[in-house]
Amino acid sequence: MSLIDKRRIAVTGIGLVTPVGNDRESTWEALLAGRSGGAQIENFDASGFSTTIGAEVKGFERENAAPCRKLLKGASRADGFALAAANEALSDAGIAPTDEDSHRWGLAVGAGMMTVDYDDLKVVYDYATEEGEFQPNGLLRQDYPADPISFCRWQSNSGLSMLTKAFGIRGYATSVHTACASGGQAIGSALKALRRGQCDRVLAGGFDSMLNPVGISGFCLLGALSTDNDNPAGASRPFDETRNGFLLGEGAGFLVLEDWDAAIEREAKIYAELGGDGNSLSCYRITDSPPDGNGPIQAIEQALADAGISAGEIDYVNAHGTSTQMNDRSECAALKAVFGDRVNDVSVSSTKSCMGHLIAAAGAVEAAVCCLAIRDSTAPVNANHQNPDPNCDVNLVIGESRALEIRAALSNSLGFGGSNSSLVFLNPERGQL
């Protein structure tokens, strides 16, 4: 088979809204300092739940953060984060769609799984239940507020609709959901659209908020969340032997991706080259990762091959590292299988130790973290690690963030349902390192 000449893709803009900062630099600073975003949940009264803690976005004023206030009327909480982060990414890149080139701009997003949040569900409850049983004809009551704006808010591509309208993107647009791998897969989809020449620039990212009564219920029912309610800042401790579940976060991350030559031509600042994307399906169990890493291994290897580099060039891995027993063990097994004897030369950290798990946004936010790590030659700390786990004996960045020249960085996202996504980012100056 002939090899295709792969178009090079540059990352030229980054925007973030996370539990540790409402923009890119404040998030990055908090991650470098190892500051946790974990706290008692304040969005709603979580006192009755088995988990009362989460990593909420704090002090976010979406009216100030988003470009188009009118759109906010129909926006969910996650949509608000998306608008703000996407706006930051575009202004950072110093370029935005114009009437002339809007059809050459694309959008690829990892969007959440929420169908409705508690408040909208409660309206249906008020009109259309009797003693907790659904009575559909209640929806036909004259005064039932069947608000089209609320309906549109919960369509599977409502975030996409909002973002394309807000920024005037008229080309390829797609929304993917593979649970925790969504954000990474969205960036992979963007990479392919660019390589195929379907777009010149793509706004790619993820956004999610499951920190509401319905969202958190799903994870509480599965027993997936840490119940360290008296220690919210230390609850997420990926790879620590005493880890006991993840800390639910929320937020959004966006990258501006563009043709390398076009970025050079316009003298854009280039954070990194998006080198490769790898995907696999573990085909093991819906919620668990395979203990031997079979699944994640293939995603990582494919991403390396797609980027045209060897495992030996990876200096930093931003791990999926959810802080659940099974995930962290499976991921370490995969890293050992891929890196072999060299595994100790690779610095590994999970920034979920600070931000918690941003679900559909996680892969995109962590992709941004890899780019910032390359820019500043620093691997952010894997916070809260105190008790080594013999199953997770990789070279973790513990104690404090680590100065490190990074030739290439790997970002892993391993989702519920078994979708694994790996992305490789290359240092724009890696030839000289």
Any idea how long the chain is? 433
Per the CB < 8 A criterion, the answer to whether 214 and 114 are in contact is yes
Residue 160: closest CA among 82, 212, 90: 82
Per the CB < 8 A criterion, the answer to whether 93 and 167 are in contact is no
CA dist 239 and 394 (Å) reads: 9
Residue 54: closest CA among 198, 212, 281, 268: 212
Per the CB < 8 A criterion, the answer to whether 17 and 206 are in contact is no
Q: Of residues 134, 231, 291, 340, which one binds other proteins by CB under 8 A?
A: 134
User: Is 103 noted as a catalytic residue in this protein?
Assistant: no
Segment near other proteins (CB under 8 A), from 58-66, 184-192, 345-353, 379-387?
Answer: 184-192
Cβ nearer to other proteins, comparing 115 with 386 = 115
Question: 177, 357, 371, 385: which one is catalytic?
Answer: 357
Amino acid at 236: S
CB of 323 to other proteins, least distance (A): 18
CB of 230 to other proteins, least distance (A): 17
CB of 310 to other proteins, least distance (A): 18
CB of 402 to other proteins, least distance (A): 33
CA dist 260 and 268 (Å) reads: 10
Q: Which 3-state string (H, E, C) describes 211-227?
A: CCHHHHHHHHHHCCECC
Q: Scanning the structure block, which residue is given the tokens 């990926």? A: 238
CB-neighbour burial class of residue 148 (10 A; exposed 0-12, middle 13-18, buried 19+)? exposed
201 in contact with other proteins (CB under 8 A): no
Show contacts with other proteins in window 22-61 (CB under 8 A). Answer: 44-50
For residue 128, give both structure tokens: 């259309």
Q: Of residues 58, 69, 165, 266, which one binds other proteins by CB under 8 A?
A: 165
Question: 177, 199, 320, 392: which one is catalytic?
Answer: 320
- Residue 413: beta bridge partners? 421
Show contacts with other proteins in window 320-339 (CB under 8 A). Answer: none
Q: Of residues 36, 87, 158, 330, which one binds other proteins by CB under 8 A?
A: 158
Cβ nearer to other proteins, comparing 172 with 339 = 172
319 in contact with other proteins (CB under 8 A): no
Show contacts with other proteins in window 59-118 (CB under 8 A). Answer: 71, 74, 102-103, 107, 111, 113-116
For residue 356, give both structure tokens: 């918690």
Segment near other proteins (CB under 8 A), from 8-16, 137-145, 312-320, 351-359?
Answer: 137-145
Show contacts with other proteins in window 1-20 (CB under 8 A). Answer: 1-4
User: Is 357 noted as a catalytic residue in this protein?
Assistant: yes
Per the CB < 8 A criterion, the answer to whether 365 and 252 are in contact is yes
Segment near other proteins (CB under 8 A), from 14-22, 251-259, 294-302, 347-355?
Answer: 294-302
Q: Of residues 89, 95, 190, 193, which one binds other proteins by CB under 8 A?
A: 193
Q: Scanning the structure block, which residue is given the tokens 């980054």? A: 14
User: Is 385 noted as a catalytic residue in this protein?
Assistant: no
Show contacts with other proteins in window 409-428 (CB under 8 A). Answer: 415-419
Show contacts with other proteins in window 216-275 (CB under 8 A). Answer: 217-223
Segment near other proteins (CB under 8 A), from 19-27, 77-85, 258-266, 295-303?
Answer: 295-303
Residue 147 has what DSSP assignment?
-
Q: Of residues 36, 209, 282, 322, which one binds other proteins by CB under 8 A?
A: 282
> Which residues are within 8 A (CB) of 252 and not within 5 positions of it... i.e. 6 or more apart?
15, 16, 17, 78, 81, 82, 84, 85, 86, 205, 206, 207, 208, 361, 364, 365
302 in contact with other proteins (CB under 8 A): yes
Question: 180, 332, 371, 392: which one is catalytic?
Answer: 180
The residues annotated as belonging to the active site are: 180, 320, 357
